Each structure stands twice: as C-alpha cells, then as structure tokens.
Amino acid sequence: MRPTVLLLFAAGILPQRAVAESTTPGTQDADAPDRVVVTGGSDTRVQVINPGTGTRIYQLGPEIIDNQERGQDAGLDEVLLHAPGVSRESNGQYHLRGEDYGLQYRLNGIQLPEGIASSLGQLFDTRLIQDLTVIAGALPAQYGLRNAGVIDLQTKSGADLGGQEVSLYGGSHGTLHPSYSGGGTQGDTDFFVTGSYLQNDLGTDNVAPTREAIHDQTRQYQEFALLTHTITSGQKLSVIYSGVDGTFQIPNATGLSPAFDQEGASPPDSAKLDRNQHEQNYYGIVAYQLDTPSFSLLAAEVNSYGSTHYRPDHVGDLLFTGVASDAQRSLLGTGGQLDASYRWGDAHTFRAGLTLLSQQERSSSRSTVFFTDPDTEEVASDTPVQIDGGESRRGYLYGAYLQDEWRLGRGLTLNAGGRYDGVSAYVREHAFSPRLSLTWQAQPALTIHAGYARIFSPPLLEYIPRKDFARFVGTTNAPDTLADPPPRAERSHSSDAGASWEVLPGLTLGLDAYYKSVRNMQDEEQLGASLIFTPFTYTRGYKEGIEWTVDYRRGDWLFFGNVALAETKGRDINSAQGLFDDDELRYVARHEIHTDYDQLATVSAGAVYRWKGLALHSDSLFGSG
C-alpha cells in the first residue's frame, strides 16, 4: 500500500507556490515563501514582467535537468515530461493538460512566434537551459494568443559557464551525441554559445512490434548564441540566435501487401520503403531591457523561419496508399513585443504590453495518384498521373493587455486584467478576454489560489483550402466531402484552483484542478503518409483534470514527483472535413470522442542524493497510453 499512497501525493517537478507579491529587481524577501524566484543568467527582470500571479508554476532547475536520464543530452520533450500534466506522443510531440497545440514559448521572457506545428525535432537544445518554467491554468492577462500553456526558458550566460566544455554521449540504437559549449565575459559584454550533433535510430514512431525500428534514423544539428551588453546599470541589450536542422526517416512495417498496381512496377517490399522528412527552425532576436526599482521595460524584435519537407517513396507510397506526395511547408515570421510594469507604492503593480506578429505561410505539393471510375470508384487506369498544388498566404496576429496586481492585505492578492487579441488571415476575428485570479497566503506555509480566464486562440496559418481537396476528385486521393470551411479561433472559459502546503520543513505538497469549456476546439490531422499535420476544429469540447505534487528537500536529499489525471473530449468536426471519411464525420457529429492525444494518467518521479561531490539519482516516467 505504501507505494500507492506515495503516488497519490506525487506531481510536478519542483512545484512553486503561486506568486502573492512582486519584488523589486535585485531584492528578495526570505519571509515570503509564496514568491517564485527565477534564477540563472542573473536576469531578475522576469520576476517583475512575468510573475505568474494566481496560477500554478513548475520550475525545473539545473539540479533536475542535470540529474534526469541522460542529463543535458536529453531532449527538451524529455525534460518537459517531468512537469505534471505533460504527455508525449510516440512521434515526439508533447501536450500539456490535454492541449494539442498552442503552447507559448518564451526565451528569457521574450515570446517566440510559433513554428511549424508538425515539427518532429527539438526547438532548443537542453544544453542552453538554465531554468525551465511551465505555467499552466487560468493565465493572467500578459499571456495571450497561445494560451495552452507557457514554456519559459531562462538561458545560461557566459558568466555561468566561464570557459569551454566539450562532451560526447553515445550508446545503443546507434546513438552519437557530441556537443560544445563556451562562454565568458569581457568588460560589460557577456557571451554564450553552444552547438550539438545528434544521430540515432530512434527518430520517430516505431510502427512495428519490435525493439529496433526499421528505417528510423535521425540526424539533428542544433546551435545557439547569446550576446548581452550592459549599457548602464539597469540597461541591457541582447542578441540571440537559435537554429535547428534535422532529417528523419519514416519507419516501415513488414509483411504489408500493396493495395494498388502500377504498370511496369514490381510490388515493393513494405520493409524497404525510403520515406524521409527534413525540418528546420530558426530564431533571431534583438531585445532591450530597462530595470529600475519601480519601473521595468522589455522591448524585443523577433524573426523566425520554420520549414518541413516530406519526400515520399514514390512507388511504395503510391502502391500502398494510392498517393505519393512530395510536400513542403514553410513559415516566415517577424514581430515585436513591448512589456512594461510600474510598481505604485506597496499595493499595486500595473502591467501593460503589446504584441504584433506577421507570418508568411507557403506550401507546395507534387502528388502522384491513379484516376478512378466515377461510378464504381475503382481504379480506372494503372498509369499514374501527377497533380501539383500550392498556396501562399500572409497572416497577422496582434494583442494588447492591461492588468493590476493588487495586494489587498491579510495575505490576499488580486490580479485583475484584460486583453484584446485579433487575427487577420483566412479568417478575421478578435475578442476581449477578461482575466481574474485571487491568491491567499492563509498561513506562512499554506498558499491557496483560484483563477478564471476567457481565452481567444487564433487558428494555425497552416490550413489546406477547399481547392486543394477539389484537385483530387476522381482520383485515389479523393476526399469523401468537399465541405471545407476554415478553422476558426478557439474561444474558451478556463478555471483553475489549487493549493501548496509545506507540511514539514522541506516537504511541500501541491494540489491543482482545472476545467476548460471550449468552442471551436482546435486539433490537427496527419496528411497521408507524411508527418505533416493540418488544423481542424470541433464545434465544442472540454478539458478537465487534477494534479498532485510532492517536493522534498532535506540536507543532501532531493525528491520530487507528480501524478496527473486528465480527460479531453470533442464533438462535431466543423472545419477541414475533407481530411475525414463520411462515417467518421457522422459518428463524431453525434458523440463526444476522446482526442487522439488524450492521456488519462501521467506520472513522473525522481530522487537525488549527494555524497562527497558525487550525485546519485533515480528517474522514472509513466504514461497510460
């Protein structure tokens, strides 16, 4: 019974208490146990601009990252699995609290434009991370556009490293992972760089019931550079570059029989197909920050580029699935962010900000198919034909917010605000979203919080228009329906409540529950044999769950763990119906269904013991499938 009891109180890496009071940069009040302290990079601005007031925050610091399985050689997705409510699909995509996409990434507090949604590789190398913070729940007003959750990465600095480091990691499944990091300071300038190369035979989902996947090699290159110059005391200018380039083989299964025949072509062996996907993600950032005891400002300009290219096995894909598509998709973005905060006396901290993002999406495909008989839908000719398609569109996302963190006294903090967001792309929508949360420090060791947020999440720009489906009418790639209204913005009501309790010195338990009612619930569907995805929406849906956390620190011991239970369901697909067959559409129109990424239970736990400079650690992860 003891292991069962332990798991019921496990959840979330290093659960942080909800913020009940802001701090002036460079100061810390040791008597305020409910305050989140972000370390690393000597960047105290995050305490002021991004307090996370009124919602749950989970911070994964160096002692967790370095002591997980494979340490800093682990992927970002593996690090995130140590936070409660995070699940991962076998192709590497991860989800937070039953959300398919819409995670907001921040690098040193700077919001990043979204990349290609179907990315299989890692956006960032774990080696550049000093602290990773996961923010989920009814987010305050400064977080907008992408509200499924916030992944805030605080990077290392040259001062943290102060030299050079070379490492080589290798092992089973053809794993080879060399890396380099270097950094230092020269006067008022700090620099940090890191780069790595990874190859293994575990690129993505193994579709065969075997330990070793067939045709599943990946090669990935990652690079990162940060240059920070201190202009004067309290003023900094930063330049950031990040790049990722990866190739992935698409795994094969054995013993499959082709569904089609081609004139002059021999039936292919399903275990010898050669399908591949190439991905790139790049970011370039220039940021200025100003800190004074009462006023803080962050201004940033961000550029991004992401692309994915699926190369089929032209004969194999055609004969097994009826279509072989060489498909490419890219997303070029540029945007700006402005955040400011002003501390007025001891009772109020006002925050305001603006965000503007412009993105250009391009897609092209060259598909080989067979013509079919319009009456019988049987193949009319075994001579294939080629159909080309392409699309280019520009979209704009914009948002503005205003909020007040009001310390009411008696341990109560009210965070009230609102934001206005909009999208102009293949749909034009906008909304005002009120946000409200209350944090109560009932006792020095007990903090309780509750919050509500109305959320507006624009659809992805990576949408397939009706004309692309119409091209395939009368072929082996024909859709069951041409009804294809575009996905609309997701609108939802999110509520969250929880508590953090330091039961004994060093032992903290946490509990958090949430519910989200959604209209136009967003999801993605895979395009044929490629691992490129496109968005669609359910008319309505809901997400609910509960999370338990435990964190124990005493002397040379550290123990952490989490258990999360969650459910996500949707009903009635109301966009991009050409991705589905008629039977599936009719069923989903009448029934609430579990989404394909829904996972009932996730568990993670770990322990670290330090002895005379030696760290002994244990790490475990579990998902219900």
Ranges of each domain in the chain: 2-623
CB 539 within 8 Å of CB 569: no
Query: Which pLDDT belongs to residue 149?
Result: 86
- Decide if 36 contacts 51 (C-beta within 8 A): yes
Determine the 3-state secondary structure of 617 from DSSP: strand
Q: Which of 179, 185, 180, 178 is nearest to 160 (CA)?
A: 185
> Using the 8-state DSSP alphabet, how is residue 517 labeled?
E
Could you give the CA distance from residue 373 to residue 375 in angstroms, rounded to a whole number?
6
Specify the pLDDT at position 37. 31
Q: Which residue has the higher pLDDT, 217 or 579?
A: 217
Asked whether 133 and 57 are in contact (CB, 8 A), the reply is: yes
Residue 343: both structure tokens together: 């501390």
What residues contact residue 570 under an 8 Å CB cut-off, 6+ apart? 518, 521, 523, 538, 540, 541, 588, 592, 593, 595
CB atoms within 10 A of CB 556: 12
Give me Rg for the CA atoms of the chain: 25
Instruction: Give the burial class of 1: count Cβ atoms within 10 A of its Cβ; 0-12 exposed, 13-18 middle, 19 or more buried.
Output: exposed
The pLDDT tens digits of the residues spanning 401-455 come to 999 999 988 888 999 999 999 999 888 999 999 999 999 888 888 889 999 999 9
Please report the pLDDT score of residue 476 as a whole number: 87
pLDDT, position 121 = 74
Can you give the pLDDT at residue 466?
Answer: 67
Burial of 29 (0-12, 13-18, 19+ CB in 10 A): exposed
Q: How far apart (Å, rounded) are the C-alpha atoms in residues 461 and 534? A: 9
Residue with tokens 């009462």: 294
Q: What is the pLDDT of residue 93?
A: 73
Q: Is 80 exceeded by the pLDDT of residue 572? A: yes
For the beta carbon of residue 184, count every other beta carbon within 10 angstroms: 15
Measured at the CA of 512, the angle between CA 509 and CA 518, to 5 degrees, comes to 165
CB atoms within 10 A of CB 539: 16
More confident residue, 529 or 175: 175
Nearest-angstrom CA–CA distance, 581 and 174: 40
Q: 2-623, which class in CATH?
A: mainly beta
Pairing mode of beta strands 557-573, 129-136: unpaired
CA-to-CA distance for 110 and 124, rounded, in angstroms?
Answer: 15
Q: Are 547 and 512 in contact (CB under 8 A)?
A: yes
First to last CA, the chain: 24
Q: Choose from 108-122, 365-379, 428-442 the range with maximum mean pLDDT.
A: 428-442
Tokens of 316: 């194999």
**pLDDT (tens digit per residue) in 45-104:** 333 333 346 777 888 888 778 777 777 888 888 888 888 888 877 666 778 888 877 788
How many CA atoms lie within 13 Å of 335's alpha carbon, on the beta-carbon side? 24
* Per-residue pLDDT at 482 exceeds 70: yes
> What is the band of 530 on the pLDDT scale with cuts at 50, 70, 90?
low
Distance CA 123, CA 279 (A): 10
**What is the pLDDT at residue 45?**
32
pLDDT for the residue 492: 94
pLDDT band at 206 (very low <50, low <70, confident <90, very high): confident
Q: Which helix (H) or strand (E) holds 581?
A: none
Distant-in-sequence, close-in-space partners of 53: CB < 8 Å, separation ≥ 6: 18, 19, 20, 22, 140, 405, 413, 415, 437, 439
**Cβ neighbours for 584, distance < 8 A, ≥ 6 positions apart:** none
Mean pLDDT of 358-387: 88
CA distance 83 to 12: 5
Q: How confident is the model at residue 527 (pLDDT cuts 50, 70, 90)?
A: low
Please say if the pLDDT value at position 30 is more than 60.
Answer: no
For 263, residues 6+ apart whose C-beta sits below 8 A from its C-beta are 382, 383
Identify which of 97-101, 113-117, 523-527, 596-600 has the greatest average pLDDT: 596-600
